[in-house]
Structure 1
Amino acid sequence: MDQKNLEYLQKTLDYLGFGTRLNEVLESAVYRGLDRFSLGINQRYIPGEFRSDPAKGVDQMRFEINFSKAKETGVYFLNSYEGSLIRYNTSEPVMQRFELERDNRMSALQCYKLLCGLSLQKEILVKNTSGSTEGERERVPVWFRLDLSVTGNNGNHPVNKFFPGYGYDLEQSIGKYPFKGLEDEEKKQAVTKALRYGNLVELSLSIDGKEHAVYVAANPRLKTLDIYSKDMQQLRDNQIFSSQKAEGQNTPRAFEGILPPPQVAKQFPWKQQGGDKEPKIGR
C-alpha cells in the first residue's frame, strides 16, 4: 500500500467537504487492492431559509464517492461522486454526478447548493488565449448553475457555465432593488460575497412603502436576482415595483397573492458543459 497515495486521497476527501469520517474505510479498501470501489456518506444541511431556526427542517444528502486504481502504477484516484438530495419538503431525490476534473472539483457543499437550484461563482483555470506562452492558463471567475428542468441520458442535469463575457453584473443587479441597510459598504460587500458563494441571503426590501423580509439569490442566467417572500414564494419585478406603475393599472401588489412565473423561452446564450470558507450570511 502506497502511504503517500492514501494520505493524498484522505486530504482530498477533507478538502471536498467530507471530513475524516471515511479515512479508515478508505484505508481498508486501498489495503485490499481493489481495482474500483465506492464509499458512501450521508450529510445533513440546514436550508438557507431556516438558518435562523434549524428546527424547521433539514435537507438530506447522500454521496457515493468513486475510486479507481491505475493499471500501470497501482496509484488510486478519486474520480467522481454522485450527490443525491432529498429536501425537507419533498420525497423525490434530485441527483447529479460530478466528475472532479471536468466539473472543476465541486465540493460537497457546492454540490448541495447547485442541487437546491442555486447559482454560485467559482474561479477555474482556462487556457489563456491572449498569452504569449503556449499552454498557459489563467484563473477566471465563472458562474455555475444546474438546469434542473432537463435530464440527459446519463441521468445528469446540464451544468451551465456563465463566463465574464456573458455580462452578468451582480453589483448592478443588487443596486436595482430597494434593499434596506446596504448603504453600509461593508455589509453590501458581505452580501455580495455571500451571493457569489451560492448562499440564500436574507435582506429587508422596501415594497409599497413598507419593509418586508425577503430571501435573495443570484441568477446569472437571467442576469438578475431571484427574490422570495418569507414562505419562499418568488416575487416578480412587477410586484416589487407595483407602486411605480401608472395609476389605473390593475397590478396586484407584492404581498397580496403571488403571481405565477412567466413563460420564458428556452435560450442557451451561455457556454454549456455537461470546502471553501464562507461568510456567515445565508446559505
Structure 2
Amino acid sequence: MNERNFNFLTNQLKYTGFGEGLQTDLKVQILKDKPEFTLSHQTRFGRDQMQSELYFKRSSQSDLYFFNRFTSTLNKQDQNHRISHIFYNNKQTGNITLKEAYNLLDGRAVNKDLLSQEGKLYVAWLQLDFKQTTPNGNYKMDHFNQRYGFEMEKAVSALPIKELSNQLERSRLFASLQKGNRQAVHFLENGREHRFFIEVNPRFKAVIVFDENENRVFRGQQMKNEQASGLKENIQIKSDKIPEINIPKPGNRKGLSM
C-alpha cells in the first residue's frame, strides 16, 4: 500500500468533513487492490439525517487512489422524502465539504473560490436549482459571481444585528453565512434584544429572516406584541418576493446516474 497516498486520502476525508472514522475501512479497501470502491458515511445535522457514498478510483498509470466525488442524500425529519446530489472534488466545482453539501441540499447557498475553464480564480455563490436537472440526474448548480450584484455584507448590515458591532463576531457571522449556514443573531430595538435566525439567498439578492422558532418571517406577518413596529419594518427585506423552496418529491426528477 502506498502510505503517502493513504495519508493524503485520510487528510482529504477529514478536511472535507467526513472525520477520521473511515480510516480503517479505507485501508481495507486499498489493500484489496480494487480499481475502484465506495465507502458509506452517515451523520446528522440537527434533526436531519445525511447519508453519503464516497467514490474512490485508482489511477490507470500508478497505484494512487483518488477521492473524486461523493453522493449525499438528505432526509429531513419533517418531510417524508429524500433529496440527493453528486458533489465532485475539484477546483472547478469548489471542493464542497459535507456541511456545505447539507446546506446546499437544504436550499441555501455557499460562497466558494472557483477555477474557471481558463484557469482563473474567481469567487461565486453556489445554489442548487431544484427545478432543473442535468443529463446525469444532478440538480443544476447556479453560480452567482460579483457581477450578479448580490452584496452580502451590505445586505446583512442593513439589519439591526447586535453581532455586527463587534469586529470578531461580525467576521464570524459573515464567514458562517458564506458557508451556507442559517445563523442565530440578535436584533437590537430600543435597547432590547430579540433572537432571530438569518440566511442569505443570492438568487433573490436577499437576506431571509426567521423567528426564534425558525419560522420564516413574511412581509406583513403579525409579530409578537413585545416586538416594536420599527423592528418589524427592518426585517422586511424582499421577503415578499422570495418563494418557498420546494424540495422535490420522489418521481419529480430523473434517477441519479453514477
Smaller-chain TM-score range? 0.7 to 0.9
Q: Secondary structure in 2 aligned to 1:159?
A: strand
Give the CA deviation at 1:154: 2.6
Q: Aligned partners of 2:213 and 2:61: how far apart in 1?
A: 56
Q: Aligned partners of 2:242 and 2:123: how far apart in 1?
A: 30
Residues 240, 170 of structure 1: alpha-carbon distance in 2 compared, 3 angstrom cutoff: farther
Runs (4+) off by over 4 Å: 209-212, 237-244, 260-264
The residue type equivalent to 1:167 in the other structure is G
Give the CA deviation at 1:180: 4.6
Give the CA deviation at 1:42: 0.7
The residue type equivalent to 1:121 in the other structure is N
By percentage of residues, which structure has more helix?
A: 2
Q: Aligned partners of 2:62 and 2:10: how far apart in 1?
A: 19
Q: Secondary structure in 2 aligned to 1:111?
A: helix
Matched, 1:172 2:162: no
Matched, 1:66 2:55: yes
Give the CA deviation at 1:19: 1.5
Question: Structure 2: where are the runs of 5+ without partners?
Answer: 234-238, 244-258
Matched, 1:156 2:145: no
Matches within 5 A, 1:243-262: 262=241
Determine what percentage of the aligned residue pairs are the same residue. Answer: 24
Matched, 1:104 2:86: no
Residues 202, 29 of structure 1: alpha-carbon distance in 2 compared, 3 angstrom cutoff: same
Q: Aligned partners of 1:184 and 1:233: how far apart in 2?
A: 27
Q: Aligned partners of 1:262 and 1:126: how far apart in 2?
A: 31
Question: Structure 1: where are the runs of 5+ without partners?
Answer: 47-57, 128-134, 245-252, 255-259, 265-283
Residues 181, 80 of structure 1: alpha-carbon distance in 2 compared, 3 angstrom cutoff: closer
Matched, 1:18 2:8: no
Residues 197, 240 of structure 1: alpha-carbon distance in 2 compared, 3 angstrom cutoff: farther
Matched, 1:213 2:176: no
Matches within 5 A, 1:1-283: 1-46=1-46, 58-101=47-90, 102-126=92-116, 137-138=120-121, 140-180=122-162, 182-205=164-187, 212-237=194-219, 239=221, 262=241
| Segment of structure 1 superposing worse, 229-238 or 151-160 | 229-238
Residues 229, 31 of structure 1: alpha-carbon distance in 2 compared, 3 angstrom cutoff: same
TM-score normalised by length of structure 2: 0.77
Q: Aligned partners of 1:231 and 1:151: how far apart in 2?
A: 33
Give the CA deviation at 1:74: 3.3
Aligned Cα root-mean-square deviation (Å)? 3.0
Aligned residues: 232
Higher relative contact order (CA 8 A, sep 6+): 1
Give the CA deviation at 1:145: 1.3
